[in-house]
Structure 1
Amino acid sequence: MSSEQLYQGHCFCGAVEFTVSGEPVAMGYCHCQSCRQWSAAPVNAFTLWKPEALTVTRGADNIGSYNKTPRSSRKWCKSCGGHLFTDHPQMGLVDVYAALVPQLAYTPGVHVHYQEAVLPIKDGLTKLQDVPTEMGGSGLTMPE
């Protein structure tokens, strides 16, 4: 029997349900224009997981997909339009939006793409110009 933590989530209407297991690789805030436009918010709270941690348990045939760039494949519910997650194949990670896993103790560790921020947040967390070097970015930090 596994003692691995299991978190449940679903789209806005509940037609699509999923679980993520274990713990996220990283949690933080993204300030890039794409995430802001997709989420219709000034900042996006993310939780990044290995793809094998995510299991769609209901409504897989109801998931739509959109690729603005090869770097991300955004997923949503075809019934309600509720956003679900974003695959990042080049990073080998999937972003499950923090709001969709309410049982997870969200503890952000970083701000990414802070050079594009429209809502400055002074919280003492590291502010990266883009993304960490291990994820293909410069790893450069910015002041709050």
Structure 2
Amino acid sequence: MAAIGSFHGQCFCGAVEIEVSGDPAAMGYCHCSSCRSWSAGPVNAFTLWPPEKVRIVKGADNLVGYQKNPTSVRKWCKACGGHVLNEHPLWGVTDVYAAMLPALPFKAMLHVNYQETVLPMKDGLPKYRDFPPAFGGTGELMAE
């Protein structure tokens, strides 16, 4: 994937602004119940970045977080409740929710946790039962 520049986003009220630069490590969809509950949607679109490529440019003091499990620290704006990002410390990436970066050309590469899907998607992309092996998963693929 060629470097695509930098992209800006903000929370729902604009109190928190974020910038990402360079190439995302991956873009795709997560179907796990945790992401669905958090996003209030049937699927969560993610963009994964090296943490050093993610910068809070405004409102860092408005970010609060919650860690339900060791793999995720979800962060949102305390003023409006708008979701901003999800740190994955064990994997060394930060998920900036795709909706946070409206100008980013979102090009999904894969689906993860597809065994939990409530919205089957026929798009020809790999559908991992859980995760690719590099992220501690089985690497098992599922049919569309």
SS at match of 1:76: strand
Partner of 2:119: 119
Partner of 2:71: 71
**What is the Cα deviation at residue 96 of structure 1?**
0.4
Partner of 1:56: 56
CA-to-aligned-CA distance 1:17-56 (integer Å, 9 cap, x gap): 0100001000000000000000000000000000000000
Counterparts in 2 of 1:1-144, with a 5 A limit?
A: 5-144=5-144
CA-to-aligned-CA distance 1:57-111 (integer Å, 9 cap, x gap): 1000000100011110000000000000000001000000001111110000100
Give the count of matched residue pairs: 142
SS at match of 1:34: helix
SS at match of 1:129: coil
**Structure 1 length normalisation: TM-score?**
0.96
Q: How well do the aligned residues superpose, as a CA RMSD in angstroms? A: 1.0
Structure 1 gap segments, 5+ residues each: none
Deviant stretches of 4+, over 6 Å: none
Structure 2 gap segments, 5+ residues each: none
SS at match of 2:104: coil
